[in-house]
Amino acid sequence: MASENRTVLVTGGGGLVGKAVKHCIEQLGEHREGETWIFCTSKDGDLNDLESTRALFAKYKPTHVLHLAALVGGLYANMARNLDFFRVNMQINDNVLRVAHETDVNKVVSCLSSCIFPDDITYPIDETSLHMGPPHDSNFGYSYAKRMVEVLNRGYNEQHGRQFVSVIPTNVYGPNDNFHLHNSHVIPGLIHKIYLRKQDPEKYPFKVMGSGKPLRQFIFSHDLAKLMIWVVRDYFDKDPIILSVGEKAEISIRDAVKQICVGLDYPFEELEFDTSKADGQYKKTVSNEKLMKILPDFTFTPFDKAIKETCEWFVTNYDTCRK
C-alpha cells in the first residue's frame, strides 16, 4: 500500500532495537513504497552535541524520527552511574526534540521504559501512572531522564502543536544486543557468561547475580520493532503507549536463566546464585491492554523460541558482536 512520502530517521539505529527495526524493514517485508528509513549511529553524529544533532537533521531532512538513541545499561551499570545516565540522556533527548521542532519534523516517537514507573505502585501498571511517585532507587537517573521525555513531548505538543509521542517498552532482548559481561542487561549478560562457562568452567566460575526471584516481562526485539514501525505510521494518540507482552508472560529471572541454559545446551543445575548481589526492582508488571485493544491480533514470539534464536545468533556472531 502506497503511503505518504516520508523519511524516517532512526537514532540509535545500530543498537539492539535499531537493528531489529532495520531487520523488519529490510528483511521481513515491512518496507512501504514512498518511505525512506535511515538508521544512524553515533558515527553519523553525536546527539549529545547540539550542533552535531543539527548537522544530522540538515543532512537527512527527516519528516519522521524514531528516537532510540540513549545511554542504556542493565541494573548494575545504572547503579554505578546514575548521574551519567541522567545527564547524558537528558542532553540527547533535549537536543533531538529541540532540533526536530526547529526543522519542523512531522512526528517524533521516543522511548521510555517499563523500569521508570513508580516503585511503590499497584499492579498492573498502566500508562497513566508515570509520575505518581519516585522510581526504584537503582536507576533513578535513567528513570527521571526518560520521564522528562514525556514532559518535553507535552511541552512541544501544547505550545507548538507538535506530534511528539513516546512508547514504553518492557525489557527487550534479541540479536545485536550489548552482550558485555558487566554493563549489559540480564539476558545478554547471562548468554555471554554461560557461553564462556561452557567453554571453560575453570576459567569462568561465575555465579548468577541476585536471588533469581525478581519478575520480568521480556519482549523479543523483532516483535517490539514491528510495533514501533506501526507507532511511527499509524498511532496518533498524544499519550504514551506501553509495548509489552502480557502480564501472564511475566517470568522470574531464574526461569529466564533456565531458558538460556536450554538455548545454549548447558545444565542449569551447574549454576549458583550470588544473593549478596542486588536484585533491583522485584517486579514492574505492566498492562498491555491499551495496545491489545488497538491491535488484538498482534502475536508475540514465544520466549523459548526467541531465546533460542538469540543464543544461536550470539554463538554465530561471537567474534563481531558488542560484548
Give residues in contact with ligand GFB (CB under 6 A). 74-76, 78, 113, 115, 138-139, 142, 171, 184-186, 189-190, 208-210, 214, 216, 253, 277, 279-281
In the annotation, is 142 catalytic?
yes
Of all residues in this chain, which one has the CB nearest to ligand GFB in the complex? 210
Catalytic residue among 60, 76, 123, 142: 142
172 binds ligand NAP (CB under 6 A): yes
**Pick 7 or 211: Cβ nearer ligand GFB:** 211
In whole angstroms, how close is the CB of 250 to ligand GFB at the nearest point?
Answer: 12
CA distance 103 to 58: 8
46 binds ligand NAP (CB under 6 A): yes
In whole angstroms, how close is the CB of 1 to ligand NAP at the nearest point?
Answer: 28
Of all residues in this chain, which one has the CB nearest to ligand NAP in the complex? 15
Q: Report which of 318, 28, 7, 36 is spatially closest to residue 179, judged by C-alpha positions.
A: 318
169 binds ligand NAP (CB under 6 A): yes
Provide φ and ψ at 11, rounded to 5°: -80, 155
What is the amino acid identity at position 60?
Y
**Pick 45 or 189: Cβ nearer ligand GFB:** 189
Q: Report which of 67, 62, 18, 81 is spatially closest to residue 222, judged by C-alpha positions.
A: 18
Provide φ and ψ at 15, rounded to 5°: -95, -170
Q: Report which of 169, 221, 195, 217 is spatially closest to residue 15, judged by C-alpha positions.
A: 221
**Pick 147 or 233: Cβ nearer ligand GFB:** 147
DSSP β-bridge partners for residue 187: none
CA distance 64 to 38: 10
With CB under 6 A as the contact rule, which of the stretches 63-71, 247-255, 273-281, 286-294 interacts with ligand NAP?
63-71
Q: Is residue 272 within 8 Å of 207, Cβ to Cβ?
A: yes
In whole angstroms, how close is the CB of 228 to ligand NAP at the nearest point?
Answer: 9
Mind spelling out the 3-state secondary structure of 291-316? HHHHCCCCCCCCHHHHHHHHHHHHHH
* Residues at the interface with ligand NAP (CB under 6 A): 11-12, 14-18, 41-43, 46-48, 68-72, 92, 111, 113, 169, 171-172, 178, 185
Q: Where in the sequence numbering do the catalytic residues fall? A: 142
